[in-house]
Amino acid sequence: MKKYSLFLIATGLIFGGCLKGQNDPVFPSPELTIPVDESITLQNALPFKFGAAVNNNILRTRAAYRDVVIKEFNSLTSENAMKFAQLHPGENTYTWSEADYLVDFAQTHGKRVHGHTLIWHKNPPAWVQNFQGDAAAWDNLMKTHIQTVMSRYKGKVASWDVVNEAIANEGGGYRTESIWYQKLGPEFIEKAFIYAHQADPDALLFYNDYGHEYGPTKRTAILNLVSNLRAKGVPIHGIGMQFHTRYTQSNTNLAAAINTAAATGLQVHIAELDIALNPDGIQDLTYSSGLAEQHKAKYEFIVRTYNAIPKNQQFGITTWNVGDSDSWIPSEYKRPDWPLPFDNNYQRKAAYQGILDGVK
Ligand code: XIL
């Protein structure tokens, strides 16, 4: 048994580069990172904004994280601190300290903040779930939330995901489990945009969702929603595509997502990019040079395709988290994974080089 494993490891080491996508051997971490060239950073190398979703707790406590955030990115999204339950836990209670912390940090370091997210079916606080009122009262609740939050950050946060994930995964209809849909009907979407625009007429307002790259059904539903809003004169300026994607996703689907969003003429934000390497949830999968190469190629393809859309529509690309150790994927999906361009210690992975190569 032992001999057999040694043989497998040796064979793997010899053929590792050829066995792409196999569960090939683990190399020591340094071999899975790329040499650091201090003169290069993502924010300097890329011709559009490159951002990350940031977690305040790690920002406060881990110097390596803080350093990489300051050095590499010029746009920040708060991973959780600007969501409804975090900002507005009671009907008459707003808790600003975490969102303020991120906004102050961004201002100190000269970084854009993208606001995420005003209205989402996930995480309505208990008081919203228990709220009793007619449609006018719900309308007022939503309006008050949007306008209170946007007014506080007016002049500091110039873009917002106004509505997040309103389209269902299957079938191309609305996500009917959303409390906003249930209380206000599909008009909650246009109302949210109108209220957001009233609060800050200068802010860029995005509709954010995932699955544009899954195939035509969800993508078309999202694009139809956006074009219907525009046809009604609703103030909407951008499409956020989350792109929680996987290394096995086809380039055809990824390109269709990016190019159809660009064809609307709106701002396009790849808003939550991560590329899973273990979408099938193999519990003993290990990160390997073969996977690293495919990861790199997928990052490069996405960046190359995005770089080819009109410059004035490139709002930017944001990765969801910074390094693999702070990715939401392993805890959310209960599996090992390595979806980001930085490893657990914030060293640059092959994917980092893929991002740079995407604009060459
Ligand atoms: C996730 C965060 O990363 C987690 O920490 C949190 O527990 C749940 O939300 N789509 C979104 C993001 O729009 O807000 C989600 O963020 C990931 C999926």
274 within ligand 1 shell (Cβ under 6 A)? no
272 within ligand 1 shell (Cβ under 6 A)? yes
pLDDT tier at 30 (50, 70, 90 boundaries)?
Answer: low
Give how many domains the chain has, as a whole number: 1
Asked whether the predicted pLDDT for residue 22 surpasses 70, the reply is: no
Asked whether the predicted pLDDT for residue 330 surpasses 80, the reply is: yes
Residue 168 lies in a domain: yes
Query: How many angstroms separate the alpha carbon of residue 7 from the centre of ligand 1?
Result: 42
Residue 6 lies in a domain: no
Query: How many angstroms separate the alpha carbon of residue 4 from the centre of ligand 1?
Result: 43
Average pLDDT, the chain: 93
Residue 283 lies in a domain: yes
pLDDT tier at 19 (50, 70, 90 boundaries)?
Answer: very low
**234 neighbors 281 (Cβ within 8 angstroms):** no
Asked whether the predicted pLDDT for residue 148 surpasses 70, the reply is: yes
Asked whether the predicted pLDDT for residue 23 surpasses 80, the reply is: no
Q: Which residue has the higher pLDDT, 28 or 294?
A: 294
Asked whether the predicted pLDDT for residue 118 surpasses 60, the reply is: yes
Percentage of the chain surpassing pLDDT 90? 89
| pTM across the whole model | 0.92
242 within ligand 1 shell (Cβ under 6 A)? yes
80 within ligand 1 shell (Cβ under 6 A)? yes
Query: How many angstroms separate the alpha carbon of residue 318 from the centre of ligand 1?
Result: 13
Percentage of the chain surpassing pLDDT 70? 91
Average pLDDT value for residue range 135-163 = 98
pLDDT tier at 283 (50, 70, 90 boundaries)?
Answer: very high
pLDDT tier at 215 (50, 70, 90 boundaries)?
Answer: very high
pLDDT of residue 29: 57
Residue 5 lies in a domain: no
Report pLDDT digits (tens) over 163-214.
999 999 999 999 999 999 999 999 999 999 999 999 999 999 999 999 999 9
Using CA atoms, how far residue 165 sits from 189, 287, 301, in Å, is: 11, 31, 25
Query: Which of 119, 163, 320, 321 has most ligand 1 atoms within 8 Å of its beta carbon, as the pocket-test mutant?
Result: 320
pLDDT of residue 226: 98
pLDDT tier at 20 (50, 70, 90 boundaries)?
Answer: very low
Asked whether the predicted pLDDT for residue 223 surpasses 90, the reply is: yes
Average pLDDT value for residue range 269-278 = 98
Query: Which of 206, 328, 331, 334 has most ligand 1 atoms within 8 Å of its beta carbon, as the pocket-test mutant?
Result: 328
Question: Containing domain of residue 223, as a range?
Answer: 35-357
Residue 20 lies in a domain: no
pLDDT tier at 4 (50, 70, 90 boundaries)?
Answer: very low
**208 neighbors 175 (Cβ within 8 angstroms):** no
Atom number in ligand 1 closest to CA 55? 5
325 within ligand 1 shell (Cβ under 6 A)? no
Query: How many angstroms separate the alpha carbon of residue 15 from the centre of ligand 1?
Result: 38
Asked whether the predicted pLDDT for residue 18 surpasses 70, the reply is: no
Average pLDDT value for residue range 116-139 = 97
What CATH number is given to the structural domain containing 311?
A: 3.20.20.80
* Three-state secondary structure readout of the chain: CHHHHHHHHHHHHHHCCCCCCCCCCCCCHHHHECCCCCCCCHHHHCCCCEEEEECHHHHHHCHHHHHHHHHHCCEEEECCCCCHHHHCCECCECCCHHHHHHHHHHHHCCCEEEEEEEEECCCCCHHHHCCCCCHHHHHHHHHHHHHHHHHHCCCCCCEEEEEECCECCCCCCECCCCHHHHHHCCHHHHHHHHHHHHHCCCCEEEEEECCCCCCHHHHHHHHHHHHHHHHCCCCCCEEEECCEEECCCCHHHHHHHHHHHHHCCCEEEEEEEEEECCCCCCCCCCCCHHHHHHHHHHHHHHHHHHHCCCHHHEEEEEECCCEHHHCCHHHHHCCCCCCCCECCCCCEEHHHHHHHHCCC
Average pLDDT value for residue range 329-333 = 98
Nearest CA to ligand 1 atom 9: 80
pLDDT of residue 38: 86
Residue 11 lies in a domain: no
**11 neighbors 3 (Cβ within 8 angstroms):** no
Average pLDDT value for residue range 288-312 = 98
161 within ligand 1 shell (Cβ under 6 A)? no
Query: How many angstroms separate the alpha carbon of residue 218 from the centre of ligand 1?
Result: 20
Residue 24 lies in a domain: no
Among the ranges given (9-13, 140-144, 164-168), the one the predictor scored with the smallest mean pLDDT? 9-13
Query: How many angstroms separate the alpha carbon of residue 80 from the centre of ligand 1?
Result: 7
243 within ligand 1 shell (Cβ under 6 A)? no
337 within ligand 1 shell (Cβ under 6 A)? no
User: What size, in residues, is the chain?
Assistant: 360
pLDDT tier at 27 (50, 70, 90 boundaries)?
Answer: very low
Average pLDDT value for residue range 31-58 = 94
Nearest CA to ligand 1 atom 15: 79
Average pLDDT value for residue range 106-121 = 98
Query: How many angstroms separate the alpha carbon of residue 320 from the centre of ligand 1?
Result: 8
Asked whether the predicted pLDDT for residue 334 surpasses 70, the reply is: yes
- Cα 79 from Cα 103, distance rounded (Å): 13
344 within ligand 1 shell (Cβ under 6 A)? no
pLDDT of residue 15: 38
Among the ranges given (2-6, 86-90, 153-157, 261-265), the one the predictor scored with the smallest mean pLDDT? 2-6
77 within ligand 1 shell (Cβ under 6 A)? no
Residue 288 lies in a domain: yes
pLDDT tier at 312 (50, 70, 90 boundaries)?
Answer: very high
